[in-house]
Amino acid sequence: MVVFSLLRPNGPAGKYAISMFNRSRSVLATIPKQGAAPIRSMSGKPVFNVKASTWTWQQFKNDLHFFVGLGVIPLGLLILYANIFVGPAQLTEIPEDYEPYHWEYFKSPITRWFAHHIYESPEEKYERLVSYVCREQEKIKLRKQEQRMKQLMYARGDYVGWFYIPFTDEYHKRARTRLESYRNQTKIQ
């Protein structure tokens, strides 16, 4: 019983015995066994964690920041300048001999710039519409004339169709003369 009480982990002899036991285990573990492969003493957790690539996300963020810096910030500064220093247009009397341009009717300076340099004027839009309507009316007239012409050609039956393309008989004449000359040559011999 006394021996067992000395081997308790709380007592001084127990602590000594446990430390000696642990040392002997570590020394025995380092001695390689015959025929065994060498043991690699590395940490238990993996050093390199395999995870999905974030390259596309990083590239997207980089491109987004670049284009925001390239376009949005300068345009924001331009809009800020136009609204602070230029400001909206003021209504004033128009002189008798002055006819305002179409872009002078807009209030914002940015809208005026777009109307002047990018958008087409209302007069151009109107002229384009009138030209389109005129072309369509001409097409309608031509279709009606074509339909009337086909009806008359069908009813009278005395004229070749308007889509008729006359052909020449020159090649047929050449082929016939060659055939006749060939026949004449074979009869002579």
Query: Pick from 172, 149, 171, 170: which is nearest to 161 by CA?
Result: 149
Amino acid at 83: N
Rounded CA gap, 124 and 78, in Å? 29
Identity at 81, one-letter amino acid code: Y
What is the pLDDT at residue 185?
Answer: 86
pLDDT(6) > 60: no
DSSP three-state, residue 31 = coil
pLDDT of residue 63: 96
Domain definitions of the chain by residue range: 93-189
More confident residue, 87 or 25: 87
**CA pair distance 116, 102, nearest whole angstrom:** 8
At a CB cut-off of 8 Å and minimum separation 6, what does 87 contact?
109
| pLDDT tens readout for residues 49-59 | 778 899 999 99
Model confidence, pTM: 0.45
pLDDT higher than threshold 60 for residue 27: no
